[in-house]
Amino acid sequence: MEERFIGSGIEPEEAPVPDSDGIPIKRRSSFAWVAIVLILALLIGSIAIIQAALKGHTRAAVPELPPAATRPTAASPTPVELSLSFREIAKAVKPAVVNINVTESVQSSPSPFSDLFGDGPGQARPQRRPTSTGSGFIVTPDGYILTNDHVVIHAEQIEVTLADNRKMKAKVVGVDQESDLAVIKIDATNLPTVVLGNSDDVEQGDWVLALGSPFGLTQTLTAGIVSATGREVQGAQYSKFIQTDASINPGNSGGPLVSMQGEVIGINTMILTGSSMSNGNVGIGFAIASNIARKVFDVLVRNGKVTRGYLGVTVMPLDAPTARAVCLEAESGALVYRVPADTPAARAGLRGGDVITAFDGKPIKAPRELTDAVAATDVGKSVRVDFMRDCDKKSVTLEVVERPADINAAMRSAPEDGGQEDETRAARLGITAQTVTPELAAQGKLSISSGALVKSVLPGSPAADARIRHGDVIHRIDRTEVRTAEDLAEAEKGLKSGEEVAIKIERDRQIVFVTVTVP
């Protein structure tokens, strides 16, 4: 009998039809929708994770650059403003710049700086008619003028032309050939002057102006920058130079190099030229730093000359093989090349091959440091000199004397052959040598009475590249003593290919080191 619900108003639900698995179809559909939603959520989450990972990877591979530096608050000058600055500096400095005309003595000796301005090396210069030979500038109202030594050193008469075209006779107050500076004076008062600035403040890239009389063209102004500071130039032992590309030519010598503050920070002295350059400017000029000029000026005005201390050694830089040969860990010191007789160094027992490591208690790292320290030492002072000799630390005390005016004595000849001893070859180095005999040692007045006398050097060999030559006496290779020619051959066998070694030799009765690269 069919059962019915009456009076409730609610019809009974139909029973769900089960599927083949026994699960009702309606319930199965609900599960499907839930599964789809979960899959979509997982897919979206995975995509987000992958995108985040890729984004992080991109940042790691290409790091962000730092922000641009803040620009200086002061605006750079425009070309017009820079030009106006040049004008004002020229107006302020030119009245103190002078032209120097010189009548030179007959057969005067050339200055050590002459080659840089075109005079042939070693040539005596005949008497010349008055010509424009240089420049200078007034530093005191009563007529003291700074210029170069090589402008006036051989002058018999000096005529100075001022900016207002007045011509006056000048006399030499003092010259210093070592720094190539000179002071001359004219009889006048209330003269316009320049200010010597602090050259230590000068930096590479600074604008500078050069004034002078290039090729006799008076009151010429050129502009450029500081190319370098602290330059050391061969032949100028006591000066450090400011290098500039401001045009400097013959006739500019002694003129001022001026900063943008209108102060003289250098004295134009030389240019780098060559025979193919017609002695003209190629953009490399040198000026003596004003701080050096100030010191020399004071001494010349007070004493008429500059007195420097003198030790009596010629030194050269220390390279790695030589440092190793004397048991120094670093290339720090001044290698003694020669010691002239009857000098403080010679009397104290210093000799070629020694490496000076300290002077008067101050460490010496380079030859220039020793040169400056000795020059600045008071004459008559006793000082201690520390040095290395064949791996032994030594020291001596000596008295500093005044540097002689001429210390370039001619070197004596090398030892002559004195026997018919058998020759031994050091083939890898390219040397043929013989053992030094007592007769050879006496004849050559050798400081060490043993060694291997070089008879010949093979052209193109490592020894030839190191400029070892006939007549040299080899005393040591690296740390191996060489007393005979056979010692030389044996020492050569222990050398490694490609190694750089220091060879201690006696040449012209002086001990020197040369560096050879072993093949």
Catalytic residue check, 253: yes
Catalytic residue (one of 150, 245, 247, 461): 150
Phi, psi (degrees; rounded to nearest 5) at 269: -130, -45
**DSSP symbol at 330:** S
Catalytic residue (one of 154, 176, 179, 180): 180
Q: What's the CA dihedral at 156, 162, 165, 171 to 10 degrees?
A: -20
Q: Where are the beta strands (DSSP E) in 279-391?
A: 285-289, 309-310, 314-316, 334-338, 355-359, 362-363, 382-389
Give the pairing of strands 500-507 and 473-477.
Answer: antiparallel
**What residues have CB less than 8 Å from 347, skipping those under 6 apart?**
398
Q: Are 96 and 188 in contact (CB under 8 A)?
A: no
CA angle 491, 493, 495 (to 5 degrees): 80
Place of tokens 């450090």: 240
Catalytic residue check, 150: yes
Q: How many helices (H) and strands (E) does the chain have?
A: 10, 27
Phi, psi (degrees; rounded to nearest 5) at 291: -65, -35
What is the SS3 string spanning 105-142?
A: CCCECCCCCHHHHCCCCCCCECCCCCEEEEEEEECCCC
Q: Which two tokens stand for residue 218?
A: 């008076």
Q: Which two tokens stand for residue 515?
A: 């560096």
Catalytic residue check, 132: no
Catalytic residue (one of 253, 259, 290, 461): 253
Q: Are 288 and 178 in contact (CB under 8 A)?
A: no
Q: Are 419 and 439 in contact (CB under 8 A)?
A: yes
- Active-site residue list: 150, 180, 253
